Amino acid sequence: MSEPRYWGLVAAAGRGRRMGDDTRPKQYHRLAGREVLVWSVEALRQVSGLAGIMVVRAEDDDNDWARLDLLSATDVRSCRGGRTRQISVLAGLEALRGWGAEDTDRILIHDAARPAVTPAAIRRLIETVGDDPDGGLLAVPARDTLKRAGEDGRVSETPDRTGLWQAMTPQLFPLGRLRDALKACADSAVTDEAQAMERQGARPLLVVGDPGNVKYTYPEDARWLAHALHHQREGAGG
């Protein structure tokens, strides 16, 4: 049997409602001279050995997509997503199979809205998880005191943060197992791919990520991310 290959899958079909911008999805906002989506894809492209990267995008983003510098990249393709993340990631997995990916290949699923992920962190994820069949994900241990809110907006509980981690992306899983896990969760919502795997009995490995790998969620995130990305680009020599 041949060695499993690695592929990237970038989830970019969301609308980013919390951003409050009805004119353009947040993955097409420009930060530090590049679109958020381009930053995310380029981080994966800097990891040597990936067979290809599939971007799962929305049905109505043709105009925004056409403006990106990615269109000439032979190692990047796109497909259409759906109304939920599960549907979109499944569509991306099927598109990768059409490109030549096999069930034993490893897929790096990354949120388009996490543009500050570093190639070093992605490589650390790949090296640490290795051939673990349960896969793994980048994450950071919870640092702050956590509060659970009641319906009235007041604190109802202070959970013990011992052992709690904040999940990030990329998340790394074998294509076949992830596809089966997502299909099994078709009638129930999951917030990330790791949760789908967990519901099938998997125990994904937690790999320490970088605190700066934040998700572009609110307008106020833009300034911090632009600053971080500017210095990241300078550190990489432009």
CA distance linking residue 231 with residue 31, whole number of Å: 12
* 47 Cβ contact partners less than 8 Å away, ≥ 6 residues apart: 6, 119, 122, 123, 126
Q: Could you tell me where the DSSP H helices lie in 2-118? A: 36-45, 62-66, 85-99
**DSSP 8-state assignment for residue 145:** P
CA distance linking residue 117 with residue 211, whole number of Å: 9
Q: How many residues does the chain have?
A: 238
Tokens of 60: 């109505």
pLDDT of residue 233: 76
pLDDT tens for 198-229 read 999 999 999 999 999 999 999 999 999 999 99
In tens digits, the chain (238 residues) has pLDDT values of 578 899 999 999 987 666 656 678 999 999 999 999 999 999 999 999 999 999 999 999 999 999 998 888 899 999 999 999 999 999 999 999 999 999 999 999 999 999 999 999 999 999 999 999 999 999 999 999 999 999 999 999 999 999 999 999 999 999 999 999 999 998 888 999 999 999 999 999 999 999 999 999 999 999 999 999 998 877 665 5
Which contacts qualify for 234-237: CB closer than 8 Å, 24 or more apart?
none
Q: Which of 175, 179, 170, 168 is nearest to 215 (CA)?
A: 168
CA distance linking residue 89 with residue 13, whole number of Å: 9
What does pTM read for this prediction? Answer: 0.94
Mind spelling out the 3-state secondary structure of 54-74?
EEEECCCCHHHHHCCHHHHCC
Q: How far is CA 57 from CA 82, 92, 133, in A?
A: 9, 9, 28
> Is-contact 168 139, C-beta < 8 A?
yes
Strands, E assignment, 81-199 = 106-111, 136-141, 148-149, 155-157, 165-174
Q: Which domains does the chain have, with CATH numbers?
A: 6-235 (3.90.550.10)
Three-state secondary-structure class, residue 110: strand
Three-state secondary-structure class, residue 191: coil
pLDDT of residue 68: 94
> Is-contact 71 41, C-beta < 8 A?
no
